[in-house]
C-alpha cells in the first residue's frame, strides 16, 4: 500500500469487530509514527494504549459523568461561534451519519444514544490516549498532528481501522486518574483502534472534501 492509497483508505471508523490487535502490531505502529518530524526534535508525544478491563472502567466512569453533564476538556477544541464554510461542513457530516443510521432530526433520544457511542470508542477493543506536556506551545501541537496522521496511515497499511476522537478527551481528569498520569499532562485526544466491521451501516458513508481551488492558491 502506497501513501496515496492509505490516504484514500483511511476513514473514521465507527464500528469495530470483537478482535484485538496484538501488542506487537500496535508497537510497530508507534515505532513507525515516532519518525514523524517535530520542532528541534522535541518529540512531544506521550501515549497510553488501553484495552480490556481498564478500558471498560474508564468508559463506565465517563458515561456516568456525561449523564451528569460534567464534561470539561483541557482545551477548547471547536470554535465558540461557527462560521462558513465550517458550519456547513459540520452540518453535512452530521446529516450523513444520522441519515445512514436512519436517525431523524426530531429523534433527540437516539441522537444522544449514538453520541454516547463516542465514549465507548465505538466498540473498538483498543483506545490510544495521547498526552502532551502543558508547558509546550502551539508548535508542538502541530508536530503532534503529524504524529497522529503517521500513526493512522500505518494502521491502514497493517489492515487496522482507526477513529481519531476529541470526544475521548472530554473527561480528562477521569482518564488521568485511571491511568495515573501527572496533572501537568494535557489530554489531547484518543484514537479508537481495531478491525473494521465492514457490515456495519455506520461505516458505509464517506465525508466529502473541498475542491483544491477552494483552499489553495498558486503564485509565480
The total number of structural domains in the chain stands at 1
Pairing type for strands 185-194 and 126-133 reads antiparallel
CATH of the domain at 90: 3.40.109.10
Side-chain half-sphere CA neighbours of 161 within 13 A: 21
Whether 104 maps to a domain, the answer reads: yes
Total number of residues shown for the chain: 220
Q: Which domain holds residue 100?
A: 3-209
pLDDT in tens, 81-134: 999 999 999 999 999 999 999 999 889 899 999 999 999 999 999 999 999 999
Rounded distance, CA 210 to CA 192, Å? 26
Whether 123 maps to a domain, the answer reads: yes
Whether 218 maps to a domain, the answer reads: no
Q: How confident is the model at residue 78 (pLDDT cuts 50, 70, 90)?
A: very high
DSSP characters over 147-188: HHHHHHHHHHHTT-EEEEESGGGSSHHHHHHHHT--TTEEEE
Whether 197 maps to a domain, the answer reads: yes
Whether 215 maps to a domain, the answer reads: no
pLDDT in tens, 9-65: 999 999 999 999 999 999 999 999 999 999 999 999 999 999 999 999 999 999 999
Grid coordinates given for 126: 483498543
Whether 155 maps to a domain, the answer reads: yes
Whether 21 maps to a domain, the answer reads: yes
Rounded distance, CA 74 to CA 186, Å? 6
pTM of the model: 0.95
Amino acid at each position: 500500500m502506497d501513501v496515496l492509497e492509505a490516504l484514500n483508505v483511511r476513514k473514521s471508523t465507527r464500528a469495530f469487530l470483537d478482535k484485538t490487535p496484538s501488542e506487537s502490531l500496535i508497537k510497530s505502529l508507534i515505532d513507525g509514527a515516532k519518525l514523524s518530524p517535530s520542532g528541534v526534535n522535541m518529540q512531544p508525544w506521550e501515549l497510553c494504549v488501553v484495552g480490556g478491563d481498564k478500558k471498560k472502567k474508564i468508559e463506565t466512569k465517563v458515561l456516568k459523568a456525561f449523564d451528569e453533564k460534567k464534561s470539561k476538556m483541557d482545551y477548547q477544541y471547536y470554535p465558540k461561534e461557527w462560521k462558513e464554510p465550517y458550519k456547513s461542513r459540520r452540518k453535512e457530516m452530521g446529516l450523513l451519519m444520522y441519515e445512514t443510521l436512519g436517525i431523524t432530526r426530531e429523534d433527540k433520544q437516539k441522537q444522544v444514544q449514538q453520541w454516547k457511542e463516542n465514549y465507548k470508542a465505538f466498540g473498538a477493543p483498543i483506545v490510544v490516549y495521547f498526552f502532551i506536556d502543558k508547558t509546550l506551545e502551539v508548535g508542538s501541537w502541530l508536530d503532534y498532528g503529524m504524529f497522529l496522521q503517521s500513526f493512522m496511515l500505518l494502521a491502514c497499511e497493517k489492515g487496522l481501522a482507526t477513529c481519531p476522537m476529541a470526544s475521548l478527551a472530554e473527561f480528562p481528569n477521569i482518564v488521568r486518574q485511571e491511568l495515573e498520569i501527572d496533572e501537568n499532562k494535557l489530554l489531547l485526544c484518543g484514537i479508537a483502534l481495531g478491525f473494521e466491521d465492514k457490515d456495519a451501516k455506520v461505516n458505509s458513508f464517506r465525508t466529502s472534501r473541498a475542491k483544491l481551488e477552494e483552499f489553495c492558491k498558486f503564485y509565480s
